[in-house]
Amino acid sequence: MKELELKYGCNPNQKPARVFMKEGELPFTVLNGKPGFINLLDAFNSWQLVKELKEATGLPAAASFKHVSPAGAAVSVPLSDVEQQIYFVEGVELTPMSTAYIRARGSDRMSSYGDFAALSDECDEATAAYLAREVSDGVIAPSYSPEALEILKKKKKGNYLVMQMDPAYKPEPLEQKDVFGITFEQLRNDFPINEELFTKNIPTKNKNMTPEAIRDLIVAMITLKYTQSNSVCYVKGGQAVGIGAGQQSRVHCTRLAGNKADNWFLRQHEKVLNLPFLDDIRRPNRDNAIDVYISDDYDDVLRDGAWQEVFKYRPEPLTKEEKKAWLKQMEGLALGSDAFFPFGDNIERAYRSGVKYVAEAGGSIRDDNVIETADRYGMCMAFIGMRLFHH
């Protein structure tokens, strides 16, 4: 098939809409549902991300995409008991592929609501069963087991989008897109992200780049390669835990992503793990309630009585002092940036969220200030010598 007609473009008024190949056949097959314009943008960006992650790490990889940027991305690292609890998968069958997607979706569960999922390896029954119970618009993978496909075809009243990507497909080196009737052309960003990037140029006093740190920085930089710029990414345990995308100021990216990483860690606080939810509360409502509970707005919600909609009784607040004490225990995180840090304030903010390892392009006229700030906190920082903007 050379062409596929779409319902409409980015918005309902943008008709006609289609995807097509100038030469050859489309490299994907729609196994169920009908794709939309944004579905396909998410599918193709997320597929590239997980394919590169698998090639770089050798581990099954997954991504959770929303509006052409990842809400989360991860490789398959076993889940701790607490992680299983905060991702609502206690007692659920776990496989390497399902674990990768559970981590990707768990990075920012609120942002992953209604996501497009990408899997580097075959979608097995366990992964399909997990997808079936979450709010998701579609999935792309190289293959599906018969059991997985049967499960997914029943989702969304039979309308769940299931796409199979040809893993052998290689696009042409030059890519084009039209903006305002004007055609842009450029070489695809085929810059390889590998271990050597994080060991060849370490300007900080701390040069102890551990294997785990290298894995996490690979996750960060490949994630950023497919995130709308400016962007930064915090990673812990092979999983993006905070992504700041599309901000005009880099320090705003670092703050946004750092706040998301903080929230991910606060979900693991004993008070959050023991919140007295009503028995019939849905997972999305739990996610929303947890987000409010750990925010500074919770006291207002308590006064308004909205807690009665989700809790059996009014839980005691998580105080600012308790949050601060808990967040001080965050450590060993990796931070990647898709371009150089222009000021040391980014490193200052990163330190507050437990960052120990950093990767950025380098090349700022203030590199000395950034290095000095990293040294102040004993961080190990690599300059990779390449910008990774994505638009």
Query: Is the dihedral angle over the CA atoms 351, 355, 356, 362 positive or is it negative?
Result: negative
Is 66 a catalytic site residue? yes
What 369-376 contacts at long range (C-beta under 8 Å, 24+ apart), as own/partner pairs, is 369/343, 369/344, 370/340, 370/341, 370/343, 370/344, 370/346, 371/203, 371/204, 372/344, 373/344, 373/347, 373/348, 374/204, 374/347, 375/204, 375/205, 375/206
What 43-46 contacts at long range (C-beta under 8 Å, 24+ apart), as own/partner pairs, is 43/116, 43/118, 43/138, 43/140, 43/163, 43/165, 45/226, 46/70, 46/116, 46/117, 46/118, 46/140, 46/226
Is 391 a catalytic site residue? yes
Q: Is the peptide bond before 230 cis (omega within 30 degrees of 0)?
A: yes
Residue 288, H or E segment: helix 283-293
Is 271 a catalytic site residue? no
Q: Choose the catalytic residue: 22, 170, 320, 391.
A: 391
Contact 167, 331 (CB under 8 A): no
Is 285 a catalytic site residue? no
Q: Choose the catalytic residue: 67, 153, 252, 271.
A: 67
Q: Choose the catalytic residue: 51, 54, 66, 260.
A: 66
Residue length of the chain: 391
SS3 of 318-330: the string is CCHHHHHHHHCCC
Contact 76, 96 (CB under 8 A): yes
Q: Cα angle vertex 142, ends 141, 145, to 5°? A: 85
Contact 311, 317 (CB under 8 A): no
Alpha-carbon distance of 241 to 355, in angstroms, equals 12
Q: Choose the catalytic residue: 32, 45, 230, 263.
A: 230
Q: CB-based contacts of 71: which residues, under 8 Å, 6+ apart?
A: 64, 65, 105, 107, 108, 111, 112, 115, 243
Tokens of 325: 């004490």
Query: Which residues belong to the active site?
Result: 66-67, 230, 391
